[in-house]
Amino acid sequence: MPGITREEVAHLARLARLELKPEELDHFAGQLDDIIGAVARVSEVADQDVPPTSHPLPLTNVMRPDEVRPSLTPVQALSGAPAQEQQRFKVPQILGED
């Protein structure tokens, strides 16, 4: 597999709007080449007899059951708020809308 060239790194840097120095182009070219090689090795390991999984352990529904529990009252929830209005948190206007 051919290595990543300085020109390809420079092109990627332009797309990402990054300004790289000439010595950084060589440095990153080597690093990107190593990364692509590592990804290629991982794809070689995956085989047809290995089923796709979302988790390495066979877990099913590990969430707790839903239970109704008491929550904070509006007064308790707003007790630490620096500003409130009509039982709501009051925050500074940021979009210039009414």
30-46 per-position pLDDT tens digit: 899 999 989 888 877 76
Total number of domains in the chain: 1
- Which domain does 11 fall in, by range? 6-45
Domain containing residue 36: CATH number = 1.10.20
Q: Is there a domain that residue 93 lies in?
A: no
Q: What is the spatial distance between Cα 98 and Cα 96, in angstroms, rounded to a whole number?
A: 7
pLDDT at position 46 is: 65
Q: DSSP secondary structure string, 61-98? A: --SPPP-------HHHHHTT-S-EETTEE-----S---
Q: Is there a domain that residue 94 lies in?
A: no
Q: pLDDT tens across 72-84, in order?
A: 999 999 999 999 9
Measured from the Cβ of residue 27, the count of other Cβ atoms closer than 10 Å reads 13
pLDDT at residue 61 above 60?
A: yes
pLDDT at position 47 is: 72
pLDDT at position 1 is: 45
Q: Is there a domain that residue 96 lies in?
A: no
Question: Are 6 and 26 contacting, i.e. CB atoms less than 8 angstroms apart?
Answer: yes
Task: State the maximum Cα–Cα separation within the chain, in Å, rounded to a whole number.
Answer: 65
Q: Is there a domain that residue 68 lies in?
A: no
Q: What is the sign of the dihedral through the CA atoms of 23, 1, 38 and 17?
A: positive
Q: How far is CA 32 from the centre of its chain?
A: 20
Q: How many residues does the chain have?
A: 98
Q: Is there a domain that residue 59 lies in?
A: no
Q: Is there a domain that residue 23 lies in?
A: yes
Reported pTM: 0.44
Q: Is there a domain that residue 33 lies in?
A: yes
Q: Is there a domain that residue 25 lies in?
A: yes
